[in-house]
Amino acid sequence: MLEGFKRFEERLKAGNPAGGGTALDILTRAEEFLRKRDYESALVVLEDFYRFNGGDLHMNLLLGEIHLEIGQDRESLNYFNKALQLEPGNSQALYGTGRVFYLRGDLNKSAEFIRRAIDEGLNKPEVYNDLGIVYSQAGKFFQAEQCFKKAMELKPDFGHAVVNLSSLYINVDRYDEALKLIDDYARDRDLPIDLLFNRGLALELKGMFDSAVKEFEGILARQRGNFNALYHKGYCYLNMGEIHKARECFQRCLKMDPDNEKLHTFMALTYAIEGKITEAIDIWKEFLPMFKSVQKKDVRVTPTKISPIKIVDSLESTQTKRDEKIDISVVIPVMNEEGSLFLLYNKLKRVLERLKKSHEIIFVDDGSTDNSLKIMDELARKDPSVVIIKFRKNYGQTAAFAAGFKYASGDVVITMDADLQNDPEDIPMLLKKLSEGYDLVSGWRKSRKDKTLTRKIPSYFANRIINKLIAGTGVRIHDFGCSLKAYKKGIVKNLKLYGEMHRFIPAYAAWLGIKIAEIPVKHHPRRFGHTKYGLGRVGTVLLDLITLRFYTGFRSRPLQFFGKVAFAATFLAMLVSSLLFFSKFLFGWGVSFETFLLMVMFSILGGMQFIVVGLIGEIVMRGFLEAQDKADYVVESVISYQNDR
């Protein structure tokens, strides 16, 4: 604009019309206003002066530019038309007219006039950039791309053209080209915020959420209140499962735009993913007028009859009839895991769909008291491959696996926890190992993300003891407690699980001569809920180890097992007695020695008797349950919407 002003001023000095010096004084005042971007004051000065110079081409161009700058498109068009009457092929007037039509939304006329300006010799990068914007908004992406490239050819450091071309590539899903363009431009210069945002957006759309977050954080470091960067950072965190970080970003965005419906939707979603349905609904109650008019009413319903207790007698009878053969069944015990279920399902579903094999996902609700069942029911409604087995109360993980095994119909059965510490992405590795001829593939949490004292140390000793017990099989497993395992169907259909024996399945299998393999798998720290295991389980595991040893080595010859226990108890009692006897002579403990000796002996013998009686009781109970084909759990219902489709 000032360039055009200078040309007009030079013409005025040369011709010296309308009073010469007075006219130059007026133009000097107008120039000062234009430099300050005080367009209104500049117009007051120039339009009064226009009466003497209305027939000057440059004067019309100047006034047209000023009116265009302040959005007065009608006045601007009048001045550009007058300029075209004075000089029909004037490129500046054609370019200005094209920009006016762009403001009016007439993209076709806008492109026509800017194209004519270029044909008349206005070969500037800004003009090609503006024409590219018009073509882009008109949906003519090829022409837009050529214009932006021409602008960059004329001016290699023209950042606006790079921003617009990278935005165009992102809009047409050419993310790699957008990233390459931005990286090439960034080689010897710092990127402006617009290009940082485009790079972050391209990475986000490629699913590279970690890298995208870094770009958006770079923007926020330079411009803390950048709404778009903050919004997309929250969206990336949401996709990464970082729910609390996502919610924090959306909350900051809501302070800037409290009426944004999409933000309220995402805020509600963060609570819904964690299973906090009440909080999610409360957000919508505060936002949507239709909820504000709803009043809570105290409704009491009197039942017309008392419903009987729901009990499923046979899981096999409830199996959904499918037309296709099931390749993979995934069994997942669930006990108060509302925070992780949505994320687990989404990750697991992506993996299973990539495998392109028929599948079913079996959630076993082990007496959850939070919103886990509601979330699982929602998943089952939208996905017919999801089945829910609901227990009447909490029976433990072993019972949950046993029920899942009984219901599963896949050729391969995969087990995993619901807390997202097991990674579904490891399933293809398990299947690949299984295809090498193994019957059971167990995961090894080589880099375990659990507490050392309560989880790692007890597991370490338990694994060493179990490996000692099965030393004769030639099988060595590093991590018996990892729930992520893959079984061939024949194994799980012939297993009878009781107590806490699910973790010892590989040990059973080893004694039966089943081919077992172990592969390292990923293990993530727990993000939601709390662990159900602690030091209190150590005693239970030790007793189960005794049962395991009996069933894997002495089930057909129990006398030998009890004989070894008796010999060990007797040897220990005699050893303690001897030590205490010699202590009388060495330390002079006196008469209390005999009493103490009897207490120690009876304690040892009593403990051994309790173990033996417990073992006999378990043998009798297992014989009873297996003879009648009874399970030690009660299934309330099996939920599947397969037949509703």
Q: What is the pLDDT of residue 566?
A: 59
Radius of gyration for the chain, computed over Cα atoms and rounded to the nearest angstrom: 39
Tell me whether residue 128 is in a domain. no
Paired with 390 in beta bridges are 365, 637
**What is the reported pTM?**
0.46
pLDDT of residue 157: 86
Higher per-residue pLDDT: 311 or 420: 420
Residue 623 CB coordination number (10 Å): 10
User: Among positive and negative, which fits the CA dihedral 404, 406, 407, 411?
Assistant: positive
What pLDDT sits at residue 111? 93
Name the residue type at position 355: L
Question: Which pLDDT band holds residue 15 (cuts at 50, 70, 90)?
Answer: very low
Contacts within 8 Å (CB) and 24+ apart, 214-219: 219/193
CATH number at residue 478: 3.90.550.10
For residue 317, CA distances in Å to 397, 497, 637 come to: 23, 20, 12
End-to-end CA distance of the chain: 67
pLDDT(305) > 50: no
Question: DSSP state, 455?
Answer: I
d(CA 449, CA 523): 6
Q: Are the CB atoms for 377 and 639 separated by under 8 Å?
A: yes
What is the per-residue pLDDT for 591?
42
H or E segment to which residue 487 belongs = strand 485-488
Cα 190 to Cα 588: distance, rounded to the nearest angstrom: 87
Tell me the two tokens of residue 25.
Answer: 């004084």
Q: Between residues 197 and 599, which one has the greater pLDDT?
A: 197
Q: What sections of 206-321 are H helices per DSSP? A: 209-222, 227-240, 243-256, 261-273, 277-287, 289-292, 315-318
DSSP string, 304-345: SSPPPPP-BS-HHHH----SSPP-EEEEEEESS-TTTHHHHH
Average pLDDT rounded to a whole number, residues 608-624: 60
Within-domain flag for 360: yes
pLDDT exceeds 90 at position 35: no
- Specify the 3-state DSSP secondary structure of 152: helix
Please state at what angle helix 538-553 crosses helix 457-469, rounded to 10 degrees: 10
Listed in sequence order, the residues at least 6 apart from 78 whose beta carbon sits closer than 8 Å to its beta carbon are: 64
189 within domain boundaries: no
List, in sequence order, the alpha helices (H) in 155-208: 159-171, 175-185, 193-205
pLDDT of residue 300: 40
Q: Rounded CA gap, 443 and 429, in Å?
A: 10
Averaged pLDDT, 345-363? 92
**Average pLDDT of the residues of the chain:** 77
One-letter amino acid at 625 equals L
Length of the chain: 645
Where does the pLDDT of residue 469 fall: very low under 50, low under 70, confident under 90, or very high at 90 and above? low
On the question of pLDDT at 433 being above 60, the answer is: yes
State which H helix or E strand residue 387 sits in: strand 386-391
Give the separation between CA 73 and CA 56, rounded to whole angstroms: 20
Contact 100, 77 (CB under 8 A): yes
| Of 340, 318, 337, 415, residue with least CA distance to 637 | 318
Q: How high is the pLDDT of residue 115?
A: 93
The pLDDT of residue 301: 38
Residue 430 identity: L
- 165 pLDDT higher than 70: yes
**Does residue 223 lie within any of the structural domains?**
no
Is 537 among the domain residues?
yes
Question: For the packed helices 57-69 and 91-103, what is the interaxial angle rounded to 10 degrees?
Answer: 20
Relative orientation angle of helices 57-69 and 39-53, to the nearest 10 degrees: 160
Confidence of residue 103 (pLDDT cuts 50, 70, 90): confident
* pLDDT classification of 490: cutoffs 50, 70, 90: confident
Instruction: Give the model's confidence band at 293: pLDDT under 50 very low, under 70 low, under 90 confident, else very high.
Output: very low
Nearest to 315 by CA among 232, 421, 409, 397: 409
Cβ contact 618:547 at 8 Å = yes
If one counts the domains in the chain, the total is 1
Residue type, 405: F
Query: Does residue 156 belong to any structural domain of this protein?
Result: no
Phi and psi, residue 315, nearest 5°:
-65, -35
pLDDT, residue 296, reads: 40
Give a yes or no: residue 331 inside a domain: yes
Q: Are 619 and 295 in contact (CB under 8 A)?
A: no
pLDDT in tens, 386-410: 999 999 888 888 888 888 988 898 9
Taking the C-alpha atoms of residue 605 and residue 576, their distance in angstroms, rounded to an integer, is 12
Q: In this structure, what DSSP letter does residue 71 have? A: T
Q: Which residue matches tokens 């959630």?
A: 363
Query: Are 526 and 421 within 8 A, CB to CB?
Result: yes
Distance CA 210, CA 315 (A): 44
Identify the band that residue 593 occupies on the pLDDT scale cut at 50, 70 and 90.
Answer: low
Contact by Cβ (8 Å): 343, 422: no
Full 3-state SS string of 521-587: ECECCCCCCCCCCCHHHHHHHHHHHHHHHHHHHCCCCHHHHHHHHHHHHHHHHHHHHHHHHHHHHHH
Q: Which helix (H) or strand (E) holds 53?
A: helix 39-53
Return the structure tokens found at 423: 């990674």
User: Cβ of 107: how many Cβ atoms within 10 Å?
Assistant: 18
- Is 449 domain-assigned? yes
On the question of pLDDT at 585 being above 70, the answer is no
Q: Residue 83, Cβ neighbours under 10 Å: how many? A: 25
Looking at per-residue pLDDT, the higher value among 466 and 420 belongs to 420
Instruction: Return the closest-CA partner of residue 370 out of 397, 396, 341.
Output: 341
Token pair recorded at residue 411: 């050729």
- Domain limits at 320? 315-551
Contact 339, 372 (CB under 8 A): no
Amino acid at residue number 99: R
Model confidence at 338: pLDDT above 50: yes
State the Cα–Cα distance between residues 521 and 146, nearest whole angstrom. 49
